[in-house]
Chain A
Amino acid sequence: MGFATRQSVILEFAPTFISVIMAGKVGSYITSSIGTMRVTEQIDALEVMGINTYNYLIFPKIVALLFYPFVITIAMFLGVFGGYVACVYGGFSSSEEFIEGIQMDFIPFHVTYSFVKTFLFALLLATIPSYHGYFLKGGALDVGKASTTSFVWTSVAIIVVNYIITQILLT
Chain B
Amino acid sequence: MIQASKIYKSFKDTPVLKDVSASFDKGKTNLIIGQSGSGKTVFLKCLLGLHGIDQGSISYDGTELDKMTPQERIQLRQDIGMVFQGSALFDSMSVEENIMFPMQMLTNKSEGEIRDRANTVINRVNLIDANTKLPSEISGGMQKRVAIARAIVMNPKYLFCDEPNSGLDPKTSIIIDNLIQEITEEYQITTVINTHDMNSVMEIGQKIIFLENGTKAWEGDKEEIFSTDNKSVSDFVYSSKLFKRVRTAYLNKRKD
Contacts and interface: CB of A to CB of B under 8 A. Distances in A.
A49 B105 contact: yes
- Residue among A40, A47, A49 with the most chain B CB within 10 A? A49
A108 interface: no
A40 B91 CA distance: 10
A100 interface: no
Contacts of B86: 40-41
Contacts of A169: none
Contacts of B89: 42
B48 interface: yes
Contact of B77 (A36, A41, A50): A50
B106 A48 contact: no
Given A48-B48, A50-B77, A40 B106 contact: no
Task: Report the contact-size class of chain A (Cβ under 8 Å from the partner).
Answer: 10 to 19
A63 interface: no
A45 interface: yes
Contacts of B88: 40-42, 44-45
B90 A42 contact: yes
B236 interface: no
A51 B73 CA distance: 11
A49 B106 contact: yes
Nearest to B48: A48
B106 A41 contact: no
Contact of B78 (A36, A44, A45, A50): A50
B106 A50 contact: yes
Interface of B: 48, 50, 73-78, 80, 82, 84-86, 88-91, 102, 105-106, 160
5 contacts: A42-B88, A42-B89, A45-B84, A49-B106, A56-B105
